[in-house]
Chains A and B, each alone.
Chain A
Amino acid sequence: MNEILGIVIAAFISWFNFVLIDTWMGLPEAPGVKGADVIGRSVKARGGDLAGGFFQGNIVCSPDASAGTLLASIACYAIGTPEGGLIAAVLVYFGNRLCADPGYAGTTGALSITIIIFLTSFIGFKPEYFIVGMVLAILTIQGLYHPWASRLLGKIAHKMGRHTKLT
């Protein structure tokens, strides 16, 4: 398979994987740790959405499904496809506990991307496409323009009924 095309498709898959799991686990609803609150309000002050800001702050402050997706791809690439993802899920769980987070979003993201990598390996996707794809996906959320990204995340949270009740 063409490498560039594979990376772009893997980026889309990783984006939906971590955004949907994180929203479903309630990242936009409330700041899980105190630092996420500061980052969310700073994004709102720059013209963004508060729920999207909490989402971005929670990603920075604790290894959530985004980290689970990246680390499971890394472990699948270097250790081996099904077993690497399980090792990554355990390490992400430790990281979550160190950050005083419940730790279900990270492990769920790691396990789901392991299943996706295993299934897509039959049609020619390699784990390294998902590593680069996940970095591109996090670039669109955290690196381009925070107000737009947070408004998009806020809309997704609103559709899934997970928009924040805080003001």
Chain B
Amino acid sequence: MLIEILGIIVVLMALRTLVAQNRSERLLYLNVIGFSMSAIICLYIQTPFGAIIAITFFVTSTLSSNAIAYSLGRVKEEIMVK
């Protein structure tokens, strides 16, 4: 039942990411997906190495969010594909 709750949260956040207004708002929803995914990884792989995988996944996803947010600050105008 725990994984089902987390799965519902991931689907809800994925839908909200689709209707978000701009990229920095989208990053906040993706952060919730990162939290839920590492929780799902750990609850599904119930071994000590599963915990290491979940922690590594979370820290690296934070690193990539850091890089994306930094480059959003440098690109002032969002370039949209027409």
Contacts and interface: CB of A to CB of B under 8 A. Distances in A.
Contacts, number: 146
A135 to B, nearest CB: 5
A132 to B, nearest CB: 5
Q: How large is the interface on B (under 10, 10 to 19, 20 to 34, 35 or more residues)?
A: 35 or more
Interface residues of A, number: 48
Interface string B55-81: 110110011011111101100000000
Interface of A: 3, 7, 33-39, 42-43, 46, 56-57, 59-63, 66-67, 70-71, 74-75, 77-79, 84, 87-88, 91-92, 94-95, 98-99, 128, 131-132, 134-136, 138-139, 142-143, 146
Interface of B: 1-2, 5-6, 9, 12-13, 16, 21-22, 24-25, 27-29, 31-32, 35-36, 38-39, 42-43, 45-48, 50-52, 54-56, 58-59, 62-63, 65-70, 72-73
